[in-house]
Structure 1
């Protein structure tokens, strides 16, 4: 497992496309119970090297009902984004995750994490990659039908502050889905 970690951390497969250069950000352990698959690190996370070390991470931990200590305990959570490095900035925010990472590394990561009980699919990129044809037409529909993907997957919107309009338009997410998410996470972590 350490060899895989070292190979990922030294990956330069898409170096030519990364404005800040490669700095793969992920965490995992053979004991990880839950895998968080998000998009790609932003500039703050690129700088710190700590996954979800930003406002989005604070909101995600709130949705999950976990402390920083619980969140960053690799026996609880593996953090494996679709793209491990900051992809750069586009018109409406960060660019999509680089398409090279998931096909190159994800399968190898699954091979070393036999104890995973739940995979959180955060955002459209993770949902389309993992749910394939089972994903609904929109992220909203996929999240609304989260129960269809349990017990393996739990699709979520991105917790970015930029998504506040989505949250305003979809109040049932925080009223109904988040409590179910918290209960699911709590029951797994207590095992």
Structure 2
């Protein structure tokens, strides 16, 4: 077994957070040494836990539309790696899913990122990923996204694509409705960046 496959097998057997998880431990991620794009999210939702696939829900549909990628490209691990801050579904809280378990980042993230040597573009989703990759825990998603618009870099901050944010729900407190510049100005730039790094030949 290769070192990478050995690492992946070890991750899949992880039970570190099991005592704190209502549905038990089931690490969900998508990684491959050839991947050039990394999606760094919060934690799998319940549907992802049940299906074993990250972003296998309406939030995934919205995210794929933002990135301008098809279902097949999105789930091609040789092109796009998906690494949440918490690898397992954390359970339900009073106002949505609970935060990702902190043990994951300490236990796995450095080892996993070392095993992804070709990553060139990182898209961070949610405050926990933004704090880890950008080291700006107090900055809002609006501030981070607007900062990227002014000075594009290889780390892009995104709002969470959950149904609570989707503009088609017509909720007055929707982040997307209050920040129309994101889909008008930033999404086309993100799609261009993603297209530049996608590798159809897997070379």
- Do both share a fold (TM > 0.5)? yes
**1:123 alignment partner in structure 2:** 126
**1:49 alignment partner in structure 2:** 52
Higher Cα radius of gyration = 2
**2:34 alignment partner in structure 1:** 31
Instruction: For residues 40-75 of structure 1, give each alpha carbon's deviation from its aligned partner in whole angstroms, at most 9, with x where no partner exists.
Output: 111100000011100000100000000011111111
Q: Distance in 2 between matches of 1:58 and 1:145?
A: 26
1:137 shift after superposition: 2.4
Counterpart check, 1:168 vs 2:177? yes
Give the number of aligned pairs: 190
1:136 shift after superposition: 5.7
Q: Distance in 2 between matches of 1:58 and 1:175?
A: 18
Residues 65-144 of structure 1 aligned to structure 2 (within 5 Å): 65-133=68-136, 137-144=139-146
Counterpart check, 1:177 vs 2:170? no
1 or 2, which has the higher helix percentage? Answer: 1
Q: Secondary structure at the match of 1:25?
A: coil
Any gaps of 5 or more consecutive residues in structure 2? 167-173
RMSD after superposition: 1.5
Q: Distance in 1 between matches of 2:150 and 2:131?
A: 15
Give the 4+ runs in structure 1 shifted more than 6 A. none
Any gaps of 5 or more consecutive residues in structure 1? none
Contact 1:31 1:75 in 2 (8 A): yes
TM-score (normalised: structure 1): 0.95
